[in-house]
Structure 1
Amino acid sequence: MSEDPASSRQSSRNQDKTWINRLMSGFSSEPKSREDLINIIKEAAANQLLDDEAVSMIEGAIDVHERQVREVMVPRSQMVVIGIEETPEQLLPTVIESAHSRFPVIGESADDIKGILLAKDLLPLILNGTEDFTLEKVIRPASIIPESKRLNVLLREFRENRYHMALVIDEYGAIAGLVTIEDVLEKIVGDIEDETDEEDEDGFIRKVSDNEYVIKALLPIDQFNDEFGAKFDDNEFDTIAGILIRAFGHLPSRNEHVEIDGFEFRVLYADSRQIHLIRLTIPES
């Protein structure tokens, strides 16, 4: 005997109400920890009340509440800056090549912040030419924040004060890096790519000293081996992230480090789902 369609629909609605009631009762009972809250959300996803993308965004929003600026900022060594004395002929190649929309303007050093240059403020050069142009006339005030500021607080300040970039200082008052509103939003919604982002099929390797590099965790193992003369096995994993997680025995947090075959890896940036950036120190030999 076939099941009555009306009865089937009623059963389905009752099941949905049951899970909704359980979800709401979970919230009303005030979860005691972040893990309790995440478990309730994941249970809702398992029963198709939320999709995976929604769960990921909720986790990201919760994560932002607990994270500090130092965990997402662009480090000082990777900042693209403009000198206050630079002429349009000197600064325009930097603006064009980097494709950024905002640039810290500095004096004698990166600690001497003069302001922020918006690329759009250079558009009058097209009509008016470069005669009598000085950066001091077009730069905007820079916002300076401590690297310990929580990301949810910073996001609120970005929104309320209507600025999109801040310079980050360490405990000694020196510039440690910069952070943008995009850096914070990416913690919630994932990577945001625009038309200026280049496809990076070969991974990412940036040399910072004679034997130190910053690399993406998704760098393919075979490319790592070719670049640094290593002999890591790629039969089990495809990327350096897999090698590191196996070595750590868990998903590592920022500043955790491990040595493998003479190569030292220090995690620069990782979230609750994956490793993103690593500082690599290669053997001096």
Structure 2
Amino acid sequence: MMVDVGSAKGTIEKHEKEFIQNVFEFDDITAAEIATHRMKVAILWSDETLEQWEETIHKNSYTVYPVCHETADEVLGVINIKEYFRHKNPTKEFVMEKVLQPAYFVPGSVKADNLFRNMKSQRTRFAIVLDEYGGMCGIVTMNDLIEQLVGDFSDGHHTKGETQVVRKLNEDTWQVSGQQELEGLAEQLNMWLPTEEYETFGGMVFGVLGSIPDDGVQFELNAYGLHIEVKNIVDHRIEIATIQKISGSA
């Protein structure tokens, strides 16, 4: 194969070979193969109180949850907790009418490359994967798809010392590597970040973007209360970025 020949000649480094191989295989993998199985999905049940919902939310710390009726196959919609917590002391009726959003359903047979494009065009990062009988077989997030391309964001491509350092530049600005564990970053910044949806800072950024920028690209974006300025992309990963808290975020 061309990738193997290039690797043997030394023209393609190991991580590049893995990335190219993943790209070639991306259109052969189905949503069902990538999906988190329904037995592992955190669900908000329609007959529960909001207090019970919030207990589930705080226990799992995901960004999006499916809301189901009596079984996981009866998906009523999805709740984004950012939207949910914008409302102070909402009633259950209000949440079901105003906060609950339609779910994005995909067949388990859809190929990963098509799903990636469709989710990007739909501007959604969460899909309910259905089996051939219309029941939920699991969920797929944009982060799951990105990891199929670039591998596990915490795969140790950089050394541990590089991946764990958050350098404070001034009162509200920090320098961080894309490999930085998101949980540690959230603790240092003393703010909520989607630590159960993404393992690393880079994974979170790529998930928000919905794409993987080319090497050498620089860009800025706002996400989860942070202004993020990516300084460089190397080997399809964020080498270095600066982050700044947006006023009023905590």
Q: State the identity as a percent.
A: 28
Match of 1:130 in 2: 90
Match of 1:90, as an amino acid?
A: Q
User: Could you say which residue in structure 2 is the equivalent of 1:73?
Assistant: 35
The equivalent position to 1:183 in structure 2, one of 144, 152, 166, is 144
Inter-partner Cα distance in structure 2 for 1:165 and 1:197: 14
How far apart, in 1, do the equivalents of 2:10 and 2:58 lie? 46
Moved over 4 A (4+): none
Distance in 2 (CA, whole Å) between partners of 1:162 and 1:73 is 19
Q: Which one has a larger percent helix, Structure 1 or Structure 2?
A: 1
* Cα distance in 2 between the residues matched to 1:130 and 1:197: 25
SS of the equivalent of 2:114 reads helix
TM superposition shift of 1:171: 1.2
Deviations 1:213-260, CA, capped at 9 Å, x for gaps: xxxxxxxxxxxxxxxxxxxxxxxxxxxxxxxxxxxxxxxxxxxxxxxx
Distance 2:91 2:79 in 1: 18
| SS of structure 1 residue aligned to 2:73 | coil
Paired residue for 1:22?
Answer: none
Q: In the TM superposition, what are the counterparts of 1:227-266 in structure 2 within 5 Å?
A: none
Of the three residues 174, 189, 210, the one matched with 2:135 is 174
Shift in Å, 1:160: 0.9
> 1: distance between equivalents of 2:36 and 2:72?
13
Report what 1:53 is aligned to.
Answer: 15
What are the residue-to-residue correspondences of 1:196-235 with 2, within 5 Å?
196=195
- Partner SS for 1:154: helix
Q: Do 2:84 and 2:95's aligned partners in 1 also have CA atoms closer than 8 Å?
A: no
Higher gyration radius (CA): 1
Aligned ranges for residues 30-109 of structure 1 at < 5 Å?
39-109=1-71
Deviates more, 1:134-143 or 1:39-48: 39-48
Work out which of the residue numbers 106, 113, 120 in structure 2 matches 1:145: 106
Task: Report the AA paired with residue 129 of structure 1.
Answer: N
Which stretches in structure 2 are left out of the alignment for 5+ residues?
155-181, 184-194, 198-250
Determine helix, strand or coil for the equivalent of 1:111: coil
- In the TM superposition, residue 43 of structure 1 has moved relative to its aligned partner by 2.0
Residues 102, 119 of structure 1: 8 Å contact kept: yes
Q: Secondary structure at the match of 2:54?
A: helix
What is the DSSP-based 3-state SS (H/G/I as helix, E as strand, rest coil) of the residue aligned with 1:184? helix
Deviation at 1:93, TM superposition (A): 1.4
User: How far apart are the structure 2 equivalents of 1:83 and 1:161?
Assistant: 26
TM-score, normalising length from structure 2?
A: 0.59
The structure where strand makes up a greater share of residues is 2
Check 1:42–1:106 CA distance in 2 against 1; reply closer, same or farther (3 A cut): same
Residue type at the aligned position of 1:60: N
Higher relative contact order (CA 8 A, sep 6+): 2
